[in-house]
Amino acid sequence: MSGIFSKAMARNIFYGGTVFFFLLFLALVYDTERELPTRDNRQNLSAEVIAGKKIWETRNCIGCHSLLGEGAYFAPELGNVYPRRGPEFIKAWMQSQPTGAPGRRQMPNFHLSDEELDNLVAFLKYSSEINTANWPPNIEG
């Protein structure tokens, strides 16, 4: 017999350890909330950007694309598409979909109005100005 191993102690350590690390996590979350204003580009959250985010969501863009690396990996990263392609290209691209090229991946046409396109572009511009610790490694995303 090299020692004791009791269920009650294992249980106490589970509850204690969980509470401990959850509190630690909350402390870090609290600090993050304080630090975010310097990084998250909130000063540029205009009405257009907010409207653009909603268009982004209601067209389920994340189902093919990634944004800051999160989402699906079927189509290009869009967190930095604004500096990569520029606003006019983005709008023209959206309007010319789908390409219909046989065998190629297809993007639906969402029939966005000019205003909606501008909002979406504003959202993508705002997203590209978030401080992401220099991610992605290069402009191709």
Footprint (CB under 8 A) of another protein, residues 98-117: 98, 100-108, 110
Q: Residue 118 interacts with another protein (CB under 8 A)?
A: no
CB of 88 to another protein, least distance (A): 18
Each residue 64-93 as x (binds another protein by CB under 8 A) or -, in order, gives x-xxxxxxxxxxxx----------------
Interacting positions 6-25 with another protein (CB under 8 A): 6-7, 9-11, 13-14, 16-18, 20-25
Q: Residue 43 interacts with another protein (CB under 8 A)?
A: no
CB of 101 to another protein, least distance (A): 8
C-alpha distances out from residue 75 to 30, 53, 65, 89, 100, Å:
34, 18, 5, 16, 16
CB within 8 Å of 79: residues ≥ 6 apart: 66, 67, 68, 69, 127, 128, 130, 132, 136, 141
Q: Which of 112, 1, 119 is nearest to 54 (CA)?
A: 119
